[in-house]
Amino acid sequence: MIGGDGTRRENALIVCCVAALIWLNLYWCREVFFLDHIGQMNSMHGFWMGLARLAGDAWYKPTWWRYSYDGMPFEYTYAPLVPGLIAAISKVSGWPVGRAFGVVAGFVFCFGPVAMFLMAREITRRAGWSFIACITYCLFAPSQWLAPDQELAVRHLRDARRILLTFVWDDVPHELALALVCIAVLFLVRGLRSRKAGSFVWAGIAMAFLCLGFIFGVFQSPEVALLPAVMIMTVYASRLRLPGKIPVGLVAMAVGAIAVASLKALHLYSQPAGPALMPLGVHLPYGVNLLEFLRQGEGWKYLSIILPMSVLDTLVSLQILESVKLAGDDYPTRPSLLMNGVATLVAALFGSPFPTTLYFGHMVHKSNGARAGYSILSGAAVVVVCVTGLVPVVLHWVPLSVVAMVIVWFGLVMVGQAFQEVSKEHCIAVALGLVPMLAAWALQLVELSARKSGSSLFDIAPKFGDELSVYGMIALSQGSLLVSMLWAAALAWIFDRRFLHAALWLMVGAVLSCFGVIHAYALTAQGVENRLGFWVAPAFTVSYAAGALFLVGCHYYAARARGAFAEE
């Protein structure tokens, strides 16, 4: 009963927060809903209105648009969402297109903070703090500190920048895109917490990037790596305790080092060239001025990499927390993600480009008796090895393949966990979740082969033809983590005959592909590049949406038809 009352109070708080955000933003922009034209001509507003007024039936069939330059196909004029909404509202209501644009802009202005609040609340489970964050976003302009229009000053923190961008400049489509991304992340996080997707994704990561790559290294150098692999596998699988509780990894490294030294002395082993040796000493990191880096514009050109990596890093951390619950440990989400963020920022201040995430292998470490001291000792050892320059020395005597079975074992445990924690029917969905990760891994092999042969993927891709669908491999690998989650979760819901839930996942796929988070890419001479934007992968967007509509149809057909399923 208490839990029920708590849930009702939380839901009531969420409703109140959403209502407050809507009222506050609606009050600020109330006039735009009743204006026939906002009047900003030095913007894209007039172009969007022209598209809405003159397009006619061009939204539904190929049309030559003669009003821009010397003419162009209509689909090349502009991303269709905002002009299409203006045209639809004007058609249904009979209002002028200028007023219809004001309605669209006002809706986007109010919808953005609400979408951000719902996403933040779903991730943190803290409605109050999420509301405070969104109110801060509404009242202040933190972007004036990150990328100031004029001089960097405290007074600009209170500029009405969001009103300026929405109703004066050309950011209505961009703000709407960001709001839709928040909604997509909300449903992705909710799916992870339902455990319909988390295990499947981890199975794919483990199989593709942990098991396969490292296990090849073991069998490439069996004379030094096979015996340590057997030792590691034996101790981990049987939970055998070595004398004095000596870590099996340390024993494997010692055995590997002895094997390397002995075989080198007998001229029976030639170790691949490793990193160059450097003088031993104390090599402390030095600070980086991130604010100056961003102000000069150098940092912003990497935004297409930073944003997807940040989202994926957060999702991976959430998946690890869900995986840890299966081992009997329930860590709170907020402090776990907060420490990730703080560690990432501190590392960035010293020049590290790598985001921090919770580490995997919790079940393996715990089953072998590791506790908090393991993490402390691991961190201390990493600091000592990196700061003193010991990494090349260690790799010179202990090849990575000697301890590769440790990583392989973590991957095998994750794959096994994914199959163990689901029903028999869902095992097929687990197998499907492996495919995007395997595609990403295979693409890495193809690119590596091309580079080592003096060519590039850009040059050799057209030569594959139908023998290898390399472009499909690239599309599947773009956002492979999310693609794995989407398809595996949708198939799991289909097995449960809950077609609306599966349709929702496919609609998330439509939104993500529309903005280039998944499947979209540009193949250049430099390699495969991300292609973030709007309507950048229309074939995938339309296909995902069509699949979602089909599943909605299946839901209503199954609800009304007798004998809709084969066993009935």
What are the pLDDT digits (tens) for 188-241? 777 666 655 555 555 555 555 556 566 667 767 778 888 888 888 788 777 777
Q: What domain range is 428 assigned to?
A: 422-568
Q: How far apart are the C-alpha atoms of 548 and 490, rounded to whole Å?
A: 10
pLDDT at 193: 66
**Residue with the larger pLDDT of the pair 40 and 428:** 428
Question: Of the ranges 98-102, 500-504, 564-568, which one carries the lowest mean pLDDT score?
Answer: 564-568
Closest Cα to residue 248, out of 263, 264, 231, 230? 231
What is the four-CA torsion angle of 223, 227, 233, 239, rounded to 10 degrees?
-160
Please give the structure tokens belonging to residue 343: 């560690």
- CB half-sphere exposure, 135, CA atoms < 13 A: 12
pLDDT at 100: 92
Q: How many domains does the chain have?
A: 2
Residue with tokens 């990037």: 209
- In-domain check, residue 348: no
**Residue with the larger pLDDT of the pair 468 and 211:** 468
User: Could you report the per-residue pLDDT of 261-300, keeping only the tens digit for each?
Assistant: 888 888 887 776 666 777 788 888 888 777 777 666 666 6
pLDDT for residue 49 is more than 70 = yes
Longest dimension (CA), the chain: 89
What would the mean pLDDT of 533-541 be, rounded to a whole number? 85
- In-domain check, residue 462: yes
- In-domain check, residue 146: yes
- In-domain check, residue 514: yes
- In-domain check, residue 565: yes
User: Could you report the per-residue pLDDT of 290-331, keeping only the tens digit for each?
Assistant: 777 766 666 666 766 677 677 777 777 777 777 677 667 778
Among the three residues 193, 215, 235, which one is the final residue of a domain in this structure?
193
What would the mean pLDDT of 36-57 be, rounded to a whole number? 81
Say if CB 145 and CB 157 are below 8 A apart. Answer: yes
- In-domain check, residue 25: yes
Please give the structure tokens belonging to residue 544: 């995902």
Beta bridge pairs of residue 64? 73
Nearest 5°: phi and psi at 142? -60, -20
Q: Name the residue type at position 190.
A: R
Among the three residues 151, 177, 193, which one is the final residue of a domain in this structure?
193
Q: How far apart are the C-alpha atoms of 491 and 496, rounded to whole Å?
A: 9
pLDDT for residue 94 is more than 50 = yes
pLDDT at 3: 44
Among the three residues 193, 220, 236, which one is the final residue of a domain in this structure?
193
pLDDT at 19: 93
- In-domain check, residue 360: no
b/e string for 316-340 if b means 16 or more Cβ within 10 A? bbbbbbbbbeeeeeeeebeeebeeb
Element (H, E) at 256: helix 248-265
Q: What is the mean pLDDT of the chain?
A: 80
Q: How far apart are the C-alpha atoms of 52 and 80, rounded to whole Å?
A: 10
- In-domain check, residue 272: no
What would the mean pLDDT of 429-457 be, rounded to a whole number? 84
